[in-house]
C-alpha cells in the first residue's frame, strides 16, 4: 500500500516521533491528574449520596418514628427515649476528668512518686471531685429523666460491643419487643426481614438520619437536659418471668381467652363481662402497647375511627356478612392473621394476645375501641 506523505500532518519522521512523545506525556499527565483527584471526587460523591440518604431518612422518621421519639428526636416521657441525645452517642461530660483521675491514681500508686508530688496529686484529685459534682449538679433535669451519669453511653448500658451504626440498624430491623413492659408503647420490628414494613435501603436512610444528630465533642449539658426521656436498662428476663407468675397468681385464676379459641366460644364467654373503657385504654396504651403501631397508622390501621370503619366498611364485605362489630374485633385481636387490612403487612401483630388477655381484659379493650367513635 502506498502512502502519500504529502497528506500527512507531520511529514518528517523525527517530528512525528516528537509529536507522539508529547501526546503520550500529555495523556500521562491527564491520567495522573484524574488519579490524584479521584479520591476527592469520590469523597464529594459520597457526601452527596449521604446527604440524599439523610433527607430520605428525615421523611421516614417523621412518618414512622416521630410519634414516639418526638419530631426533634428528644423523646417523650414514659413513651420512648430520645435519639438526639449525647447518651445515645456515648458522650461523657466528665470523660476527661475520669481519664485524668485514672492517670493521677496510677502515678500516686507508683513507689517512685515523691511526697511533694503526691501532695500535688491529692490536691488535683480533690479539685476533680469538686468539678464532677458541679457538672452532675447541672445535669439535674436529665437525671430526673432517668439519665445515669455513671454510665453515659447507651452501648455501655446494654453491653453492645459492635458499632453504634449496627446497634441502631439492628434495633430498627427487629424492634424492641420488651419495651412495652417499661414504656407506654412497644417498639415493633420495622425491617421487612422481621415482617416489618420498611426495606433495607429505607432502614439505612433512617440510620443515617439518626446518626446525623451526632455533635461529636460539641454536646453541651443544655443538650443533655433537653432530652425528655432516656433509654432504660432492659429488665432481667428471669425477673420478668417471675413477675408475670406473681401477677398471674394475683389474678385469682382468672380465665385467659386462649390463642386457639374459636370466635364463637370467645363471644359466648364475653357475654358474662361488661367492658370498662378506661381500663381498656390503659391496656391499649400501656401493657399491650397497641398504640405503638396503631397511633400513626404506619404499621397498622389507626385507632381513631376503628368502630365506625368496622360497621360501615368491613362488615359490608361478603366474608363478614354474618359478623357483628364485636366478633370482628375479637378475631382481629385474638386471630390477627385471619384477615389483614389491605395496605398493611401481615405477621406484624403479635399472635399471643389470646394467652395474655383474660375475658375481662378483652371486654375492656373492645369497650375502649368502641368509645373512640362516640360523640362527646
The predicted structure's pLDDT at residue 296:
60
Longest dimension (CA), the chain: 112
Tens of pLDDT, residues 218-230: 999 999 999 999 9
- Cα 164 to the center of its chain, rounded Å: 12
Output the pLDDT for position 103. 93
Per-residue pLDDT of the chain (376 residues; tens, 9 = 90+): 455 545 555 566 776 777 778 888 888 887 877 777 767 666 776 788 889 999 999 999 999 898 889 999 999 888 889 999 999 999 999 999 999 999 999 998 898 999 999 999 999 999 999 998 899 899 989 988 888 887 889 998 888 888 999 999 989 988 887 776 677 567 888 888 877 889 999 999 999 999 999 999 999 999 999 999 998 876 555 545 554 555 455 444 557 888 888 888 988 888 888 888 888 887 787 667 676 677 666 667 887 888 888 888 888 988 888 899 898 988 988 888 888 888 777 776 777 788 878 888 888 888 888 887 654 4
Per-residue pLDDT reduced to its tens digit, 314-347:
889 888 888 998 989 889 888 888 888 887 777 7
| Residue 255 contacts residue 264 (beta carbons within 8 Å) | no
For residue 61, count other CB atoms closer than 10 A to its CB: 19
Question: Which residues, 6 or more positions from 321, have their beta carbon under 8 angstroms from its beta carbon?
Answer: 315
pTM, to two decimals: 0.57
pLDDT tens per residue across span 290-300 = 766 776 666 67
Q: Which pLDDT score, from 0 to 100, does residue 168 have?
A: 94
All 3 cell numbers of residue 259? Answer: 390463642
Confidence at residue 211, expressed as pLDDT on a 0 to 100 scale = 96
The pLDDT assigned to 244 comes to: 55
Amino acid at each position: 500500500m502506498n502512502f502519500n506523505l504529502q497528506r500527512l500532518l507531520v511529514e518528517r519522521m523525527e517530528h512525528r516521533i516528537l509529536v507522539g512523545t508529547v501526546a503520550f506525556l500529555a495523556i500521562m499527565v491527564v491520567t495522573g491528574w484524574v488519579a490524584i483527584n479521584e479520591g476527592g471526587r469520590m469523597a464529594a460523591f459520597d457526601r452527596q449520596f449521604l446527604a440524599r440518604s439523610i433527607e430520605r431518612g428525615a421523611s421516614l422518621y417523621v412518618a414512622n418514628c416521630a410519634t414516639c421519639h418526638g419530631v426533634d428526636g428528644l423523646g417523650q416521657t414514659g413513651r420512648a427515649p430520645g435519639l438526639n441525645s449525647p447518651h445515645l452517642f456515648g458522650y461523657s461530660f466528665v470523660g476527661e476528668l475520669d481519664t485524668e483521675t485514672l492517670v493521677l491514681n496510677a502515678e500516686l500508686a507508683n513507689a517512685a512518686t515523691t511526697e511533694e508530688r503526691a501532695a500535688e496529686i491529692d490536691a488535683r484529685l480533690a479539685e476533680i471531685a469538686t468539678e464532677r459534682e458541679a457538672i452532675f449538679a447541672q445535669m439535674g433535669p436529665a437525671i430526673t429523666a432517668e439519665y445515669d451519669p455513671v454510665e453515659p453511653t447507651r452501648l455501655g448500658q446494654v453491653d453492645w460491643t459492635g458499632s453504634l451504626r449496627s446497634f441502631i440498624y439492628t434495633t430498627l430491623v427487629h424492634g424492641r419487643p420488651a419495651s412495652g413492659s417499661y414504656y407506654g408503647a412497644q417498639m415493633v420490628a420495622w425491617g421487612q426481614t422481621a415482617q416489618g414494613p420498611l426495606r433495607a435501603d429505607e432502614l439505612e436512610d433512617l440510620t443515617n438520619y439518626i446518626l446525623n444528630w451526632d455533635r461529636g465533642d460539641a454536646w453541651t449539658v443544655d443538650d443533655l437536659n433537653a432530652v425528655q426521656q432516656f433509654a432504660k436498662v432492659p429488665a432481667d428476663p428471669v425477673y420478668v418471668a417471675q413477675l408475670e407468675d406473681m401477677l398471674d397468681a394475683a389474678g385469682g385464676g382468672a380465665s385467659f381467652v386462649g390463642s386457639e379459641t374459636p370466635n364463637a366460644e370467645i363471644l359466648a364467654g364475653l357475654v358474662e363481662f361488661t367492658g370498662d373503657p378506661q381500663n381498656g385504654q390503659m391496656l391499649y396504651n400501656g401493657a399491650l402497647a397497641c398504640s405503638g403501631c396503631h397511633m400513626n397508622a404506619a404499621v397498622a390501621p389507626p385507632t381513631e375511627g376503628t368502630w365506625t370503619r368496622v360497621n360501615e366498611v368491613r362488615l359490608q364485605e361478603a366474608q363478614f356478612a354474618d359478623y357483628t362489630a364485636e366478633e370482628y374485633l375479637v378475631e382481629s385481636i385474638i386471630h390477627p392473621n385471619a384477615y389483614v387490612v389491605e395496605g398493611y403487612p401481615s405477621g406484624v401483630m403479635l399472635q399471643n394476645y389470646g394467652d395474655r388477655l383474660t375475658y375481662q381484659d378483652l371486654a375492656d379493650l373492645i369497650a375502649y375501641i368502641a368509645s373512640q367513635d362516640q360523640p362527646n
